[in-house]
């Protein structure tokens, strides 16, 4: 039986990255537990110091299909290329005509740039095109 997974991303600003990735993936930031109206209200009630409010955040697939993505604050900056990255499949898949696929990918790339990503380079291999990008903290990902 397959196991559910959570993808964990080390970062400097979990709240900022959660907002970016919620937009990029069509996910949402989950509501706080119980009857709490906000996460700060929940964290205060748990006795978490305000200096730790942004030590972690997460985004979830609203349909419950994709993995949860958890962002945890770490003291050290990103160093080097990611050993793992996410691919955003914006192009509609193999059955999508190439001109339509290109337009879908380009529109997704422009939208992500408008939300804080950086376009790194276009790549093509074995008939597949994708765009390498970096999120607001420099973590690489691809749009295909």
Provide the mean pLDDT of the chain.
Answer: 95
> Whose structure tokens read 């942004």?
54
CB count within 10 Å of CB 11 equals 23
pLDDT band at 126 (very low <50, low <70, confident <90, very high): confident
pLDDT digits (tens, 9 = 90+) for 41-50: 999 999 999 9
Q: What is the pLDDT of residue 108?
A: 98
Q: Which residues of 93-113 are buried (b: 16+ CB within 10 A; e: fewer)?
A: eeeeeeeebeebbeebbeebe
pLDDT digits (tens, 9 = 90+) for 21-63: 999 999 999 999 999 999 999 999 999 999 999 999 999 999 9
DSSP 8-state assignment for residue 12? S
Task: In whole angstroms, give the CA distance from residue 82 to residue 78.
Answer: 9
Task: In whole angstroms, give the CA distance from residue 43 to residue 33.
Answer: 10
Work out the percent of the chain whose per-residue pLDDT is above 70: 100
The kind and range of the H/E element at 35 are none
Backbone φ and ψ of 120, nearest 5°: -95, -55
Domains in the chain: ranges and CATH: 6-73 (3.30.720), 86-143 (3.30.720)
Q: What is the pLDDT of residue 93?
A: 84
Sequence-ordered alpha helix ranges (H) in the chain? 14-25, 39-45, 98-114
DSSP 8-state assignment for residue 52? G
């Amino acid at each position: 039986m397959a196991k559910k997974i959570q993808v964990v991303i080390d970062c400097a600003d979990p709240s900022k990255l959660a907002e970016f990735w919620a937009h990029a993936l069509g996910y949402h930031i989950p509501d706080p537990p119980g009857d709490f109206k906000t996460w700060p209200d929940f964290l205060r009630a748990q006795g978490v110091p305000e200096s730790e409010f942004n030590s972690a955040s997460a985004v979830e697939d609203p349909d419950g299909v994709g993995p949860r993505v958890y962002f945890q604050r770490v003291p050290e900056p990103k160093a080097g290329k990611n050993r793992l990255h996410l691919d955003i499949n914006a192009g509609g898949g193999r059955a999508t005509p190439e001109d339509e696929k290109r337009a879908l990918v380009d529109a997704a790339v422009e939208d992500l740039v408008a939300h804080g990503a950086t376009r790194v380079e276009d790549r093509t291999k074995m008939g597949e095109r994708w765009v390498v990008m970096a999120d607001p903290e420099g973590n690489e990902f691809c749009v295909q």
